[in-house]
C-alpha cells in the first residue's frame, strides 16, 4: 500500500552535503533558519544557485532569522539589510533564548515542556507564518 503525505519534515544539519542535496531535490518547500551574520546571508544568496546547479526543482524557500539578539548592533544591521535584499524573509524572528536551547536537551518541542513561555509563542507564530505560506494539499 502506498501512503500519501501532506507534509513531511526532514531536519538536516547545516551545510551542503549529499543528504542536503537529496532533500533539496525532493522538497517543495524548505525552511531555512539563518543566524543574523554576514556569512549566513551570503549562504542565502548562494542557495538558489546551488539548487539550480544540482538539478533542483522549483523550491519555495521559507527563510527566518534564528538566535536573534537585538542588543547586538550587527544583528540588527544584518537583519535590516537582508530584509531589503530578500523581502520574502519571514517576519517572525526566533530570539536567542535559553528556552529555545532547552529543546535539544529535553529532546522535545517547547509546547511539551514550556507551553506558555514567550519562546513557545514565538515558535507557534513562526509555524503559523510558515503554514500560511505553504500550500499543503
Domain membership of residue 78 as a residue range:
18-133
Q: What is the CATH number of the domain that holds 37?
A: 3.40.50.300
- Report yes or no on 1 lying in a domain: no
Place of cell 544568496: 45
SS3 123: helix
- Report yes or no on 117 lying in a domain: yes
The mean per-residue pLDDT over the stretch 1-29 comes to 72
SS3 30: strand
Please write the tens of the pLDDT for every residue from 35-89. Answer: 999 998 998 888 888 888 876 668 888 999 999 999 999 999 999 999 999 999 9
Q: Which stretch of 21-35, 46-60, 88-102 has the lowest confidence by average pLDDT? A: 46-60
Residues 43, 46, 52, 58, CA torsion sign: positive
- Report yes or no on 78 lying in a domain: yes
Q: What is the pTM of this model?
A: 0.82
Q: Which residues contact 35 (CB under 8 A, 6 or more apart)?
A: 65, 66, 67
Residue 89's pLDDT is 96
- Structurally, the chain folds into a number of domains equal to 1
The mean per-residue pLDDT over the stretch 121-127 comes to 91
The pLDDT of residue 137 is above 70: no
pLDDT band at 95, cuts 50/70/90? Answer: very high
Amino acid at each position: 500500500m502506498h501512503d500519501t503525505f501532506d507534509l513531511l519534515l526532514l531536519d538536516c544539519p547545516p551545510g551542503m552535503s549529499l543528504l542536503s542535496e537529496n532533500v533539496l531535490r525532493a522538497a517543495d518547500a524548505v525552511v531555512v533558519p539563518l543566524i543574523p551574520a554576514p556569512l549566513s546571508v551570503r549562504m542565502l544568496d548562494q542557495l538558489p544557485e546551488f539548487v539550480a546547479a544540482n538539478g533542483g526543482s522549483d523550491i519555495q524557500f521559507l527563510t527566518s532569522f534564528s538566535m536573534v539578539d537585538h542588543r547586538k548592533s550587527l544583528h540588527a544591521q544584518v537583519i535590516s539589510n537582508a530584509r531589503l535584499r530578500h523581502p520574502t524573509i519571514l517576519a517572525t524572528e526566533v530570539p536567542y533564548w535559553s528556552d529555545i536551547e532547552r529543546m535539544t536537551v529535553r529532546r522535545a518541542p517547547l509546547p511539551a515542556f514550556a507551553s506558555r513561555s514567550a519562546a513557545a509563542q514565538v515558535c507557534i507564530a513562526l509555524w503559523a507564518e510558515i503554514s500560511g505560506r505553504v500550500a499543503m494539499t
